[in-house]
């Protein structure tokens, strides 16, 4: 179920089929980069939304220039699906979305689900009012849930997907134990840890999640970029 996926770093993935290329939260892209048919962006933070040029975070402070990952993969036919604040910064074939939306883009059926913080120490990182999202999409007959940045929310427990990609790094998202608790409720065929080993969460966090999530099967991927924590 993961053979067509490449993990770059953090929450950045590519799915490459025979006729379709999908990037999710592209950041730190490296190596061969085929043009995207579809790009899914979960929210505005630099490690998920990496445009070419300067951009603003939700508190209006200017951030350093991004890696320009979008410029490396977006072409004239690429469809970008993103929350409204991200979409407002982009041009081209852009589809603004919010939690609860169901759309089709580049021939892919997509459900947008909530992604926000509830832990008191994290409330300012991903406020519910921002309308940021995770995604459920069907690719080659398999359903994948990419959580974006979120805590363990009751409304996420009933999501059904074959594979759940969940953040485990803590600090700004669920930690390994909290993410394990979520996937035990979701009961996917496979869970995959992400969002660790770079900004927060040591490289060993993925293996900790694997232990905590048992009996849910877990596959710990190796990123294309070397872990930096």
pLDDT, one tens digit per residue, over 72-93 is 999 999 999 999 999 999 989 9
118 within a domain of the structure (yes/no):
yes
Provide the domain limits for residue 180. Answer: 5-213
Question: What does DSSP say about strands 163-167 and 79-83: parallel, antiparallel, or unpaired?
Answer: unpaired
Cα gap 211→1, rounded to integer Å: 20
The rounded distance, in Å, linking the Cα atoms of 126 and 118 is: 9
pLDDT digits (tens, 9 = 90+) for 191-214: 999 999 999 999 999 999 999 999
170: preceding bond cis by omega (within 30 degrees): no
Q: Is residue 73 part of a domain?
A: yes
Position 223 in a domain:
no
Quick check: 34 and 21 in contact, CB under 8 A?
yes
Contact 197, 229 (CB under 8 A): yes
Do the domain assignments include residue 229?
A: no
What is the distance between the alpha carbons of residues 209 and 97, in angstroms, rounded to a whole number?
Answer: 30
Instruction: Specify the number of domains making up the chain.
Output: 1
Q: Does residue 219 form part of some domain?
A: no
| pLDDT score recorded for residue 65 | 43
Whose tokens are 């940045």? That residue is 149
- The answer for residues whose C-beta is within 8 angstroms of residue 17's C-beta and 6 or more apart is 4, 139, 140
Residue 226 lies inside a defined structural domain of this protein = no
178 within a domain of the structure (yes/no)? yes
pLDDT of residue 52: 61
The pTM is what?
0.93
Q: Is position 143 within any domain?
A: yes
Q: What is the pLDDT of residue 61?
A: 37
Q: Where are the beta strands (DSSP E) in 168-223?
A: 190-194
User: What distance in Å separates the CA atoms of residue 48 and residue 130, rounded to the nearest whole number?
Assistant: 15
Sign of CA dihedral 124, 132, 8, 31: negative
Q: What is the pLDDT of residues 29-71, one digit of tens each?
A: 999 999 999 999 999 999 999 986 443 444 433 343 445 899 8
Pair 216, 208: CB distance under 8 Å = no
pLDDT digits (tens, 9 = 90+) for 129-177: 999 999 999 999 999 999 999 999 999 999 999 999 999 999 999 999 9
User: What CATH number corresponds to the domain at position 112?
Assistant: 3.60.15.10
Token pair of 179, please? 């993410």
């Amino acid at each position: 179920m993961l053979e067509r996926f490449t993990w770059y770093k953090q929450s950045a993935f590519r799915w490459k089929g025979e006729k379709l290329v999908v990037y999710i939260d592209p950041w730190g892209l490296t190596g061969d980069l085929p043009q995207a048919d579809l790009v899914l962006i979960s929210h505005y933070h630099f490690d998920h939304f990496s445009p070419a040029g300067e951009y603003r975070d939700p508190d209006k402070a200017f951030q350093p220039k991004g890696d320009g990952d979008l410029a490396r993969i977006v072409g004239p036919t690429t469809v970008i699906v993103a929350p409204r604040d991200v979409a407002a910064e982009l041009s081209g074939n852009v589809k603004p979305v919010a939690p609860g939306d169901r759309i089709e883009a580049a021939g892919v059926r997509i459900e947008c689900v909530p992604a926000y913080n509830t832990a008191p120490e994290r409330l300012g990182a991903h406020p519910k009012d921002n309308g940021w999202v995770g995604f459920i999409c069907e690719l080659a007959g398999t359903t994948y849930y990419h959580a974006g940045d979120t805590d363990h929310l009751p409304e996420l427990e009933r999501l059904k997907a074959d594979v759940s990609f969940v953040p485990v790094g803590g600090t700004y998202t669920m930690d390994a134990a909290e993410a394990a608790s979520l996937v035990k409720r979701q009961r996917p065929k496979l869970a995959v840890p992400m969002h660790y080993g770079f900004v927060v969460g040591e490289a060993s966090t993925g293996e900790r999640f694997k232990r905590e999530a048992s009996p849910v099967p877990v596959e710990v991927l190796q990123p294309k970029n070397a872990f930096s924590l």
